[in-house]
Amino acid sequence: MKMISPLVFMSVLFFLVPVNSSAATLENLPSAETTKNWKVVVGEPDTNNPKLNKSTNPDLYNIFSLDIKHVRDEKIKLVKVEAYREEPKLNTEYELFTAELNKEKYSSNNFHFQNFGLSKKSSYLKVVVTWTKEDDHTNRKYREEFIFQQ
């Protein structure tokens, strides 16, 4: 029985085993998710100023917009929208933004956030929507999470 030469064995290993690995990234954005209550769209940046639609450091982060629309036919009041990404190598999340909405300033059940930066090292984006029902006099809050990942 012939022995496989070490050179042939090393060559086979080199081609079969990945040499470089990296964490999953959010390459599939823009994207949308829809539930019984909401449609959440992470989309292209959208400001009239073209300089704000581009990352100042495209090797580190990308720019996106966020649209949220209430899809049910019920009277609600949108209370808060939050966005998070994971903090690499930690078990914590990094807040990208929080928009607290009150009825005096905000009368629609739709929400638009123009531009936010998202690190290319991120493997997920979490969007948390909190709302109340207008006919519920207890002011009970409802919450739904949307996770965008590769």
Mean pLDDT, rounded, for 96-125? 81
In a domain, 9, yes or no: no
Chain-centroid distance of CA 125 in Å reads 3
Other C-beta atoms closer than 10 Å to the C-beta of 18 total 6
> The pTM is what?
0.74
The pLDDT tens digits for 38-91 are 999 999 988 777 777 777 777 888 889 999 999 988 888 888 999 999 877 788
pLDDT for residue 61 = 85
In a domain, 15, yes or no: no
In a domain, 16, yes or no: no
In a domain, 4, yes or no: no
In a domain, 77, yes or no: yes
The pLDDT tens digits for 11-24 are 443 444 333 333 33
Q: 12-16, 90-94, 113-117, 141-145: which has the minimum mean pLDDT?
A: 12-16
pLDDT for residue 147 = 94
Of 127, 113, 31, 32, nearest to 71 (Cα)?
32
The two counts, helices (H) then strands (E), for the chain are 1, 8
Question: Taken in order 48, 50, 52, 58, is the CA torsion positive or negative?
Answer: positive
pLDDT for residue 26 = 52
Q: Are 114 and 93 in contact (CB under 8 A)?
A: no
Mean pLDDT of the chain: 78
In a domain, 135, yes or no: yes
Which residues on adjacent β-strands are paired with residue 98? 82
- What are the φ and ψ backbone dihedral angles of 86, each rounded to 5 degrees? -75, 155
In a domain, 1, yes or no: no
Q: How many independent structural domains does the chain possess? A: 1
pLDDT for residue 28 = 62
Residues in the chain: 150
Give 89 or 119, the one with higher predicted confidence. 119
In a domain, 14, yes or no: no
Q: Residue 107's domain spans which residues?
A: 22-149
The domain that contains 121 carries what CATH number?
A: 2.60.40
